[in-house]
Chains A and B, each alone.
Chain A
Amino acid sequence: MDPGCSRLLPALCAALADPRQPVADDTCLEKLLDWLQTVTEAGSSLLLLQENPCLVELLFHVVKSQDLSSRILAFSLRLAGMFAAQETCFQYLQGDSSLFVASAAGQLLVHVLDLAMRGPAEGHCGPQAHAWPACAQEIVCHIEASLRSTATPQVAQALNVLTTAFGHYHGLWMQGLWVRLSPLVARLLERDPVPAAHSLVDLLLSVARSAGPSPDGGLWETLAQTLSRLSPTQAGPLALGILQLQGCPQALRTQAFGRLLQPLACVLKAAAQAPGPPGLPEGAAGDSVTVDTLLSSKSACVGLLCCALAHLELLQPLPQRPSPWPQAPLLGAAVTILRFCNGSASPTSDVGGRLCTILVGCARVQRAALDFLGVLSQETGPQEPVTQVFAILLEYLVSPDSSPMVLKKAFQATLRWLLRPPRAPGCCDLDPHPQLFLGELLPVLQKRLCSPCWEVRDSGLEFLTQVTRSWGGQAGFRHALLASEVPELTRQLLRDPESYVRASAVTATGQLSSQGLHAPPASPEHPGVQQSLLEELLHILSTDAEGFPRRAVMQVFTEWLRDGHADVAEDPEQFVARVLQAASRDLDWEVRAQGLELALVFLEQVLGQRGSRCAYAVALPEAAPPGTLAQALRALCRVQLFEFAFRALFDCDRPVAQKSCELLLFLRAKAAPYGSPQDAGGSPDVASVEATLQRWQAGEQGQPLGHLEPGAVMAVLKSLDLEGLRDTLAESSDHVEKSPQSLLQDMLASVGVLSENEADCY
């Protein structure tokens, strides 16, 4: 601990121990604790206590004091626990005052049950409960009493404490604890309804996870029992948890999967035109309880279906998911649910009719089902349901009743299905399904891009960007897209009143243009005057009032430069110069940072690739040959890249400065062999540049740098302490404010202010 903090600590401890000086904000107590933790980890805690007796005094005082706030009490207990966790400190404390240890431990155990489990050091206690320390016994008795309680909150509290314990500790005594408490837990299942079911599920899963690969057989039995005992809604999370467990018996997994699938099985059964197995694994057959839940109320039905879909969505990508995965019936279920929701299902059964009435128009279920449908695209399966999938997706995309959020999900799901890996490897054109679908999709997209709802226009554009990114090279797609009005509409949306839409339109037109799919340029106000997309985007960059479109333009430009877009390749120097000029004036730091990204791409192109993108890489990039280097540096001067980078170096936003520093370091390393400081170091040019930079650093950014010569630039680069600057910038910008000394000062000040204000306020 530095002396400054040591001097402040006694006063602070005294203030904390004084009940008349309440601490207003307990986050500072958390910070204090964090800091003390780092101090104890860095050096000897024993020494810390010896050098700062005020800490021990605080703990003593807290034990004796009657009217202390719970915040200070909790803080002190945790502080004591922190010291006690180290053996030397523990002994020191014990030797100093056994009363303190007992008392603190006692309060720890009673007030914070979690800490109680940390009390008996691991390995000291075995599974035999009778060998546990008395205080542990006491806590366990308390937990037992809570579990027997008829008050649900008390049961929940006990279960939560146990869950935390099993989540953190894996000692032998934990097994003993479970052996002792499991009958009580099992007894909870006999109650109707099962109290604190959520907490119970958490506990059982926590125990199962902590128990490792071969837990005692009773646990699996309890899990199986719980699974069948809980309501369909409560059983879902447990079933998912069980399926994620390692080394779980197959029978239990089958049961859990069946339980998870039950709501979907009910839906499939209700929608079936003819009786027959829906194709889901055994055990999933919709039971009457699930059906009752589904039909009991709209909220219950929606809740259960959404949970079931979300759980299966989580399960799908996991390696330990059940195998074989029932892809076809799951697809069927998702499609059926979507049909119930849009009213296009025509069930013949009573249950189906009721479900239809409940689900029709329900956006929450629609969103969940569309998400799930999207996830299922990652599976391979029979072709037949794919036709159904595309049909229902199209229905949702076409329907005027789809809410903007549902439509967004429908677009996302469509994208996932369209971009599924081709079935025949090596096949360069689209599968017949997507190709067919595309013909119907583009008119819909066209209409959606004209929607009066900006969210819809935005999701339409996002979809277009992504589908073009993947399919831009496919002849079928190119043909269909160019035949439609989509490119033209996209271009028109560059002038959308909503900034998010403009940004998405910028990205989309950028993407279309990269792939040679952009609309022929035409401006509706002046049909004769043709404006290139590049000019239009530059216009947005320099005039748009909102940041999002300007950021999007910078990203598009960077990509264009990187990929050698035709409009850029004509005259890259002029392009970079114009973009950097616009970006340097931008008020949005992300635009300026993106400007540096673009500058870096340009640098790489004129100087050759960087070895590594990481500024902290050990290997510096190879130097470029002097001839090309001189040429390159002149080009960089011409586009005024240095002026942009130097300004950015002293940018008030740290990420910009960092990025610029990184860029200049890279440049310096590349250009090392070019000339030497002596060549230009003494010239008046260099001196004036350095003077200007100093003024910039001081915050006076008004003065321009003027025309720069490569020699002067190199001299300035070499004279700048870029490494030092990089290190300073690497520290977080608020590192001064975050120092422990500042924390202690703040706390003391706030305590002082509080006591001063008391008189005024009351």
Chain B
Amino acid sequence: MKLYCLSGHPTLPCNVLKFKSTTIMLDCGLDMTSTLNFLPLPLVQSPRLSNLPGWSLKDGNAFLDKELKECSGHVFVDSVPEFCLPETELIDLSTVDVILISNYHCMMALPYITEHTGFTGTVYATEPTVQIGRLLMEELVNFIERVPKAQLASLWKNKDIQRLLPSPLKDAVEVSTWRSCYSMQEVNSALSKIQLVGYSQKIELFGAVQVTPLSSGYALGSSNWIIQSHYEKVSYVSGSSLLTTHPQPMDQASLKNSDVLILTGLTQIPTANPDGMVGEFCSNLALTVRNGGNVLVPCYPSGVIYDLLECLYQYIDSAGLSSIPFYFISPVANSSLEFSQIFAEWLCHNKQTKVYLPEPPFPHAELIQTNKLKHYPSIHGDFSNDFRQPCVVFTGHPSLRFGDVVHFMELWGKSSLNTVIFTEPDFSYLEALAPYQPLAMKCIYCPIDTRLNFIQVSKLLKEVQPLHVVCPEQYTQPPPAQSHRMDLMIDCQPPAMSYRRAEVLALPFKRRYEKIEIMPELADSLVPMEIKPGISLATVSAVLHTKDNKHILQPPPRPTQPTGGKKRKRASDDIPDCKVLKPLLSGSIPVDQFVQTLEKHGFSDIKVEDTAKGHIVLLQEAETLIQIEEDSTHIICDNDEMLRVRLRDLVLKFLQKF
């Protein structure tokens, strides 16, 4: 069993598991942090961005000044933003049989895999995962396609040139594999390969293994996966949460008794407690708005935003913010808000019961009804007519490199009355802000990451007790900035196996059993003999038939009647003749009794030595050894066949034959 690790990002995993005869890809996350190296794509012409000076080498050589621009001491690539794909060289991706998706954030690389690698398999995901994943992809494509950029910079990627660049460009990894965004057509094609599954549904893969999605409590439709055969069980835990937010709670019990538990997608901000961060978010929002400032919340169109809107729903009246407009701007804003209300069966119990009242499960419906929350596909059109300040704007993309957020950063960045509040934990907020410097706007970082923290993981592992834990290497040591925080790492016994990008792990357990079915008529013919209370043995002669990874013992074909010399001979060659089989032996040899028996039979001068595996009975006079071990007995005597046979018969007396 092997694990091919195609992504080094612990929360955007992409691993391939070879298990029995199947090749299963676990998630295909897309690392978008690469876009932080690019200049933002402004929706409205930005004189500031277009007038940034080109970057030149120390010696004044300016051959890169078209590709690289300088802003407040940082250098950015002036080009269509590109993403860092999972490894495509480590394993032939056309051999992947299935892809299991655990949540909508972990499928963003799907079009790259399904459309460009020769992949011919099936993708499995839950319905909300697919629908919201589609929204995220649609938004991404829309953000990038609506600001066409003529230039695709590639000169800087040359290894010799990259070395000369300042950090962080100099240290960017695998730049040659970076790719620009996929098209909507590729998205549609990729999504058409998905087969929808429900929690706890058992899916057979080629008869060899069974895969089952389990609720993971992190997002609408988010799942962990069980991959099991009759005798082995691998659990794949991706983004999971034990907090009571909107999704169905996490199913922990089904993860028990795993041989291997692959653990990814823990919280990216283990020191920040989501409750405290929500409080921080609300307080800062209120302070800004009260002072007449605007609040910008860069966010994804689904996920934490539902919880934030719910908190604000309860908070705005108490904070006297009822008259402040909240705007949600995204090409998929409307769909996202509506989808969230229709996936009732995927929601937590409280929200599910609301549906039967009937009430919308999320209170943002009421915010929309009362005109407190308004949503728009983009800043163009209706929004510009309705726009009132001070206000709160939720919009993407959290990287601040594309989407409507770029416009608001340019618009509000100059005033210290305004605040940008970062709630998504995927991007370093300082890096995200770098191309907007100098910035007068206040910046508040309250990342809300509801995924498991290390305390919860350690409880989970105690509860489900897997034999082995496999996780990204980042989880096996404290974060570099807090090297003393030994509580911020996985602490389990035996220690977790760690992986990094482009590594192949041999998973530490051997398959020892395989299930074989016996045909009823063959079973009828067996004559079991009880050798211990409760344990019976029988000899079987059969034909092992293997097809579709299922093994069946069938009765041997009847010996055909002798019809001719040649044929007869062939038949007897093919079919093992039961009669010539020697009896099978079982049991163990009690050394003391054996020695007594030897003495009774006239052997003297017997010495017994204990060995690591059993005993050696030494007949010194006869210069003979009898080596007794758990699963073998050897009689070693030189050139005295008579003696050997005598001794053999004495040994056999202690064993059962059948």
Contact = CB atoms under 8 A, between A and B. Distances in A.
A54 interface: no
B141 interface: no
Interface stretch (A396-404, A544-552, A729-737): A396-404
A456 B276 CA distance: 12
A346 B478 CA distance: 12
B315 interface: yes
A450 B286 CA distance: 6
A379 B314 CA distance: 44
Contacts of B282: 450-452
A497 B485 contact: no
Contact of B277 (A400, A446, A450, A496): A400
Interface string B474-491: 000000001011110000
A400 B486 contact: no
Contact of A343 (B271, B279, B286): B271
Contact of A360 (B280, B323, B487): B487
A343 B446 CA distance: 18
B191 interface: no
A646 B319 CA distance: 42
Interface string B46-67: 0000000000000000000000
A485 B293 CA distance: 14
Contact of A452 (B290, B318, B455, B484): B318
A343 B485 contact: yes
Interface centre among A346, A400, A402 (most CB of B within 10 A): A400
B274 to A, nearest CB: 10
B272 A446 contact: no
Nearest to A488: B290
B279 A456 contact: yes
Given A343-B485, A447-B283, A524 B276 contact: no
B279 to A, nearest CB: 5
B287 A485 contact: yes
Interface in A428-449: 446-448
A343 B271 CA distance: 9
Contacts of A293: none
Interface centre among A348, A360, A495, A498 (most CB of B within 10 A): A360
A400 B276 contact: yes
B533 interface: no
A303 interface: no
B562 interface: no
Given A448-B283, A452-B282, A489 B290 contact: yes
Interface string A468-489: 0000000000000000010011
Interface in B308-324: 311, 314-315, 317-320, 323
Contacts of B323: 524
Nearest to B287: A450
Contacts of A347: 484
Contacts of A357: 486-487
B88 to A, nearest CB: 40
Contact of B485 (A354, A356, A452, A488): A356
A450 B283 contact: yes
Given A356-B484, A456-B279, A485 B315 contact: no
Interface size classification for chain A? 20 to 34
Nearest to B484: A346
Contact of A401 (B273, B314, B487): B273
A750 interface: no
B278 interface: yes
A723 B286 CA distance: 57
Given A346-B484, A492-B290, A450 B272 contact: no
Contacts of A456: 279
B284 interface: yes
A431 B485 CA distance: 36
A453 B484 contact: no
B593 interface: no
Interface string B304-345: 000000010011011110010000000000000000000000
B151 interface: no
A447 B287 contact: yes
Task: Specify the main secondary structure of chain B where it touches its partner.
Answer: helix
B319 A450 contact: yes
Interface in A299-354: 343, 345-348, 353-354
Nearest to A449: B283
B291 interface: yes
Contacts of B287: 446-447, 450, 485
A44 B282 CA distance: 73
Contacts of B278: 452
A489 B287 CA distance: 9
A497 B318 contact: yes
A346 B482 CA distance: 8
A447 B284 contact: yes
Contacts of A488: 290
B291 A485 contact: yes
A400 B320 contact: no
Contacts of A492: 290, 320
Contacts of B277: 400
A354 B315 CA distance: 39
Interface string A496-540: 111000000000000000000000000010000000000000000
A244 B117 CA distance: 80
B485 A401 contact: no
A489 B319 CA distance: 10
Nearest to B323: A524
B487 A452 contact: no
A467 to B, nearest CB: 20
A539 to B, nearest CB: 16
B283 to A, nearest CB: 4
A452 B279 contact: yes
B291 A400 contact: no
Contacts of A498: 318
Given A356-B486, A485-B291, A495-B320, A402 B276 contact: yes
A446 B486 CA distance: 34
Nearest to B286: A450
Interface centre among A347, A450, A451, A489 (most CB of B within 10 A): A450
Nearest to A359: B487
Interface in B283-298: 283-284, 286-287, 290-291
Given A447-B287, A492-B290, A453 B279 contact: yes
A517 B283 CA distance: 23
B486 A353 contact: yes
Contacts of A524: 320, 323
B402 to A, nearest CB: 30
A399 B272 CA distance: 10
Contact of A400 (B279, B286, B314): B279
A345 B483 CA distance: 11
Contacts of B291: 485
Nearest to B316: A452
Nearest to B282: A452
A386 B317 CA distance: 40
A496 B455 CA distance: 36
B315 A452 contact: yes
Interface centre among B272, B273, B314, B446 (most CB of A within 10 A): B273
A418 to B, nearest CB: 22
Interface in B245-296: 271-273, 276-280, 282-284, 286-287, 290-291
B446 A400 contact: yes
Contacts of A353: 484, 486
B245 to A, nearest CB: 16
Interface in B485-525: 485-487
16 contacts: A343-B485, A348-B484, A354-B486, A447-B287, A450-B283, A450-B284, A450-B286, A450-B290, A451-B282, A451-B283, A452-B278, A452-B282, A452-B318, A454-B318, A488-B290, A495-B320
Given A347-B484, A400-B272, 13 more contacts: A353-B484, A357-B486, A360-B485, A401-B272, A401-B273, A447-B284, A452-B311, A452-B315, A452-B319, A489-B290, A492-B290, A492-B320, A497-B318
List 3 A-B pairs, minimum CB-CB distance, nearest first.
A400-B276, A346-B484, A450-B283
